[in-house]
Structure 1
Amino acid sequence: MSDSKRYTGVAIALHWILAVLLVGMVFYAWNMEDLRDALFAGGDVTIGEVQFAYNMHKTTGLLILVLSLARLAWRLTHPVPALPAGMAGWERFAATATHWAFYAIMIGMPLGGLVAASAAEPPTLLFNNPDLVLPKLPVPQTEGFADITASVHGAGGWAILGLLGLHVAAALKHQFINKDGLIGRMIPVLKG
């Protein structure tokens, strides 16, 4: 596969960095909730450990937002390799829809998390530093609103995993069934 059929190095780097961060954040969030539940159940967890976990989750979420916006800007200003000529129309639609759904979730999840964090107490300390308090958005400060926004944000984790499963399945189909070298566009060590 020639370099003209590959994504740029910047696009590849952002793809893999964001993939690791997004999947890691889903599992980290589940662990974070387990810590919170253990605290409320009187387990061997301190409030400081729980607050540290939540603050780092929120800080990493903001990093994901910045990287996602950078990735979107790069995508809009740099052409992507063409899809294989033999792809069916529905496959082309699915590929395009999945990619744009990823952009929506990579940007929407951190924004939703920011809204959820703004509706909850205590304030967010970026990098767990008391001198770096994240300002709250002007959203309702009610328990009901906080619960709804947290639930929607949490459901986004399942959406990430669902999109990831679809994306990986399609990539493996192209590599092992279609044998069209499509996966080599994003994994530089593979050839077409």
Structure 2
Amino acid sequence: MSDSQRYTGVAIALHWVLAVLLVGMVFYAWNMEELKETLFAGGDVTISEVQFAYNMHKTVGLLILALSVGRLAWRLTHPAPALPEGMASWERLAATATHWAFYAIMIGLPLGGLVAASAAEPPTLLFNNPDLVLPKLPVPQTEGFQSVTGSVHGAGGWVILGLLGLHVAAALKHQFINKDGLIGRMIPFLKG
């Protein structure tokens, strides 16, 4: 596979770093919720442990937001390699839609989390550092608003996993059924 048919090194690095962070955050969030439930049930968890988990989730979420905006900027200034000529039009449409849905969720989910965090108490401490308090957005400071925004944010984890499933299934189809080398465009050590 020629270099013109591959993504740039920057695009590949951002792809894999964001993939690991996004999937990791989904599972971390589920663990974080279990910690909170254990605390409320009188289990062997302290409020400090729960706050630490939430603050780290929010900090990494902001890192994901920054990396995602950077990845989008890179993508807009460095077009993706062309899709194989033999791809059906519905496959091209599905690939494009999934690609842009990932950008929407990678940027929208952290922004939604920021809104939910702004409606919650206590304030967010970036890196759990009391000197790095994240300013709150001007949103309603009600339990109802926080509950709704938190639920929408949490549902985004399922969207990530659904998109990931589609993405991986399509990549495997191209590798093992179509045998068109498409997967080699994004895997550093695979050349087609």
5+ residue gaps, structure 2, are none
After TM superposition, the score normalised by the length of structure 2 is: 0.99
Tell me the equivalent position of 1:35.
35
Q: Structure 1 CA distance, aligned partners of 2:32 and 2:13?
A: 27
For 2:113, give the aligned amino acid.
Answer: G
What is the match of residue 174 of structure 1?
A: 174
Instruction: Look up the equivalent residue of 1:85 and give its one-letter code.
Output: E
- Number of aligned pairs? 192
- Give me the whole-angstrom Cα distance separating, in 2, the residues matched to 1:73 and 1:157: 24
2:143 counterpart of 1:140: no
Which residue in 2 is equivalent to 1:5? 5
* Letter aligned with residue 116 of structure 2: A
Aligned structure 1 segments of 4 or more residues deviating by more than 2 angstroms: none
Task: Please tell me whether residue 65 in structure 1 is matched to residue 65 in structure 2.
Answer: yes
CA distance in 2, matches of 1:35, 1:191: 43
1:86 paired residue number = 86
Q: Name the amino acid aligned to 1:51.
A: Q
Query: Within 1, Cα distance between the matches of 2:126 and 2:43?
Result: 26
Structure 1 unaligned spans of 5+: none
Aligned partner of 2:39: which letter?
L
Is residue 2:55 matched to residue 1:55?
yes
Residue in 2 aligned with 1:101? 101
- Mapped to 1, the partners of 2:39 and 2:101 lie a distance apart of 35
In structure 2, distance between residues paired with 1:42 and 1:69: 41
Residue in 1 aligned with 2:22?
A: 22
* Structure 1 vs Structure 2 CA RMSD: 0.4
CA positional deviation for 1:189: 1.3
Distance 1:47 1:10 in 2: 40
| Partner of residue 159, structure 1 | 159
What residue number does 2:46 align with?
A: 46
* Cα shift at 1:191: 2.4
How far apart are 1:179 and its partner, in Å? Answer: 0.1
Q: Secondary structure, in 3 states, of the residue corresponding to 1:136?
A: coil
Secondary structure in 2 aligned to 1:83?
Answer: coil
CA distance in 1, matches of 2:191, 2:7: 13
CA deviation map 1:31-67 (0-9, x unaligned):
0000000000000000000000000000000000000
**Secondary structure of 1:121's aligned partner:** coil
